[in-house]
Every structure is written in C-alpha cells, then in structure tokens.
Amino acid sequence: MKLIILGSGTSTGVPEVGCLCNACRSTDERDRRLRASALLITDEGKRILIDCGPDFRQQALRYGIDHLDGIIITHEHYDHIAGLDDLRTICWRESLPIYAQARVLDAIRHRLHYVFGAHPYPGSPRLELFEIQPDRPFELCGLEITPFEVMHGRLPILGFRMGSLAYITDLKSLPEASRPYISGLDLLVVNALRQKKPHPSHQSIDDVLELLEGLEHRPRLSLLTHLSHHAPVHRLMEATLPQDVRPAYDGLSIELSHAPQTFRLESYRPTTLRLECRDCGYIAYSEAYELQHRLFDSILDCKRRAEETESYLLLCEHNPVFTFGKHADRANMLMDEDFLRSHGYEWYSIERGGDVTYHGPGQITGYPILDLEAFGLGLRAYIELLEEAIIELLALYDIRGERRSDATGVWLDATEPCSARKICAIGVRSSRYVTMHGFALNVNNDLAPFRLINPCGFVDGQVSSIAQEKGEEVDITVVKHQLSAIIVRRLRERLEAFK
C-alpha cells in the first residue's frame, strides 16, 4: 500500500498570497505546500483520494492522476471539498463514489447544486454519495476503512484508519474514545499548523508531540501535514524534530510493505508515458495505412539507434473497406472483387494477422503503434490488454463482453454456439516488438456488409455493435474518449509495474 502526499499545506497554502516571510520566500521545493490532500494506492492498484480541495487540478496534473476509484472526505470546509468540480474529466461517464458524513454530503450537494439537481448541468462530474459514521468500518476497493471522530475546534470531523495507517487533518483535540485508532500504527499522518502558538481549531507541532507522548503505543512514524507558513521551514523541522516525527511535503510517497514494520519514503515521480493519442476522425483507409507505416518505421529507426521511442494511439473511422490479413482464406470473401468495387467497397491485402474483416463509418478502428518493450509487454499480453480494455468499455454501456480461448477479439455470449457474436475484431503486426494495425470496435456502423464475408474466418459468424445491443445509437466521440482513456490508463499501469 502506498500513500502519496498531494498537498501538505493549510487552507491558504504556502507561499501565502502577499506574504514575504522566510517560509514564503524559501527556494526549497519542500516548503511550497498546496492544500492538504493525499492519494492512497491499494495493493491491487486502486486509487482512493483523501479530500479534494481547490488545488486538486494542479495536484492531478503534477502527479499524473487520470483516474480514481473512490474519495473519502474528512469534513466540508472549502479547502477540503472545493476541487470536486475538477473531477469532471475523470468521472464524466462513470459515477465516482464519495464517502463522508451526512452533514458533509449535504454541503457537497449545496455547493454542487448543478450536479445533484433534477437536471444536472451537461458535462458536470458524476458523483455518487455514501454516508459514513464514526466507528463504523466500511469497505472501499477491497480495503476496510474505519472513520473515527476528531474535534476541529468545536466541529466534529473524521480521521481515517486503514490497516496500520491513519490520516488526520484539522485536529484540535482527540476524544478519548478515538485514541486507540492512532495507537500502535506504522504510520500516522497528522496536522500541525505551526510550532507553539495555540490556535482555536488546529494543533501546533508541540501539541502533536504531546499527543504522541500520551499514547500507549506510539506510531513508528508520524508525518506532519496541514502546515502553515508560520511553521519552521522544512530543513529546520527535520533537524529539530524527534527521529520518528518528520515533516511531510508535497509529493512525498510512503510505501508500506507487507513485511512487519517496514516502509519506504521517497519523492514521488509519476511515470512518464511516452504516448500520443490522435483522433483522426473520418479518414480514408489508404491514408491511415500510410500514416501507420510512417510512425511504425520511425519507432523502428529509434530502436536501431538505441534512442528512446514514442508510441501512438490512432482512432479512426473509415470509408467502407474490406481488409485481408496475411493468412486470410479468400474463400471467406463471399463476393468477388468486381462486385465489391461496383458497390462502393475498397479492398486491401495487408500484413496483419487474422482473416477478413470490414471497416466502415460508425466503427472505431484503432491503431496502437507501440514499442511493446518500453511497456514490458509481450505480444500475447498486449492483445489481452486490448481485449480487456474493450471489455471494460462495454461495461460502461451495460454490455458484457467476453474473450474466447480459440479466437482473438471481444465477443458477446461467447460460450453460446447459436448466439455468440463478435463486437470487436483484433489483428496486429509486430516487428522487433513494435506494433501496427489493431482493433475494430462496432459502435454505430451498419452491420449488413459483414454478410458479404465470413467475419474473421467464422462461417456464418454473427456480429453486433454497441448501438444494436442498446437499441439506439451512441455518441461515437464520447466512446472514443472513453476508450482512449481506458487504454492509456492500462498502459500506464503496465508501465508502472514494469518500471
């Protein structure tokens, strides 16, 4: 499990607007603090955001946050919920669950009234709210989370315990009943506004040290967050604090190991994904084919020179065209070439794997031009990644896609001989682990041309589309956006695991 400190500052951040104090003029990056927030990454790679303040957009861009699996909120103050609208680019199609107390959920509904009203504003984030209460554990992403009450002045708010980790912000006093939740931890993240001077609703650093002294089992490591410009600068805190108490800073990553009482601290550096996504729109097959080859050859040239490679994801719609893989059986083309050309179809023999298939308007044809070695992928794993990405996309439309052991692509009712139908064909070429060609996902396209072939070599093979399964056309631009986001996320996860 990994915790990344996205922001370690108080409600005004550091530097504070208009201030010329020592902390605000510091050139140490660790003294530049966005509003307090953290990202928890579970053992399974699920991402849980703790608080979503006004700096979330900046934090997401800085640390490569392109998806979340859930959010937990400590309380309703501006610096902890004001970034929720910026989630719209992450959860505009699939709802994102938010867990908080009833009072906090009411504040979110009020602030984002255009999201939760009878007629939500187009493009606003899709958020699903769940009430939680102190001392009542709940499960999120397979992780048990226990909320517990802390006092923010006279306002009761939540801290969270997750295994041997606890996170608290805006604490002034800790009720006696909540003390066991922070005892015997590997890691405690806790707020400390400044060194000594009392504050009506926040702890000072001295208050934290006193709190830790009073615990029966002191945490192995305590990290100070929610720091203001009145706190000492980072290097002074490091020099003067006890060894088991450290100042947090933006971008600090803490990895908790399965081995008892072991963890690693380091500055978080998001994995750089060298991938360009292009929506090529409606493009002639010959033009896309030429573009593929140009990019494919450029990657091969880089590899020959031992240079770092760039990868590409091209999404297209084509004019009506049939393509034949290098091992295609001509018998699977049920009409001759003259008939096809006279009815407006083009015809290409190409170097990808697979048999004959059809491309046309309303179908998304995707060409990932990837250096698989850069992602630590073999060809089989890459094809499986594409299949799983399509299956994940279909689930957004309540369509259950499946893989088959005897054929690539994505199917519906895959194990039913009489009703199995293909919704996405996959055929690739690879040379020195660089790919071209890719997949064809039926979205709104006319399925009649598939009757002119045995699709992918399956005699009497049935096909379907998202529109046919839903009974209505869908926005293909939206589908492209969703699909590219899924593929990019899966490639990023693969790259992070490989690195």
Q: Of these residues, 52, 141, 424, 456, which one is catalytic?
A: 456
Evaluate whether 68 touches 49 at the Cβ level (below 8 Å). yes
CB 5 within 8 A of CB 38: yes
- Extract the tokens encoding 77: 């103050």
Between the two ends of the chain, the Cα-to-Cα distance in Å is 17
Q: For tokens 């919704």, what's the residue? A: 423
Measured CA angle at 39 (ends 36, 41), to 5 deg: 160
316 is catalytic: no
Phi and psi (nearest 5°) for 35?
-65, 150
> What residues have CB less than 8 Å from 98, skipping those under 6 apart?
70, 71, 72, 73, 84, 105, 108, 127, 128, 129, 130
> Which residue is listed with tokens 């590899």?
303
Structure tokens at 129: 């709210």
Reduced 3-state DSSP string for the chain: CEEEEEECECCCCECCCCCCCCCCCCCCHHHCECECEEEEECCCCCEEEECCCCCHHHHHHHHCCCCCCEEECCCCCHHHHCCHHHHHHCCCCCCEEEEECHHHHHHHHHHCHHHHCCCCCCCCCCEEEEECCCCCCEEECCEEEEEEEEEECCEEEEEEEECCEEECCCCCECCHHHHHHHCCCCEEEEECCCCCCCCCCCCCHHHHHHHHHCCCCCCCEEEEECECCCCCCHHHHHHHCCCCEEECCCCEEEEECCCCCCEEEEECCCCCCCEEEEEEEECCHHHHHHHHHHHHHHHHHHHHCCCCCCEEEEEEECCCEEEECCCCCHHHECCCHHHHHHCCCEEEECCCCCCEEEECCCEEEEEEECEHHHHCCCHHHHHHHHHHHHHHHHHHCCCCCEEECCEEEEEECCCCCCCCEEEEEEEEEEECCEEEEEEEEECCCCCHHHHHECHHHCCCCEECCHHHHHCCCCCHHHHHHHHHHHHHHHHHHHHHHHC
Catalogue the active-site residues: 456
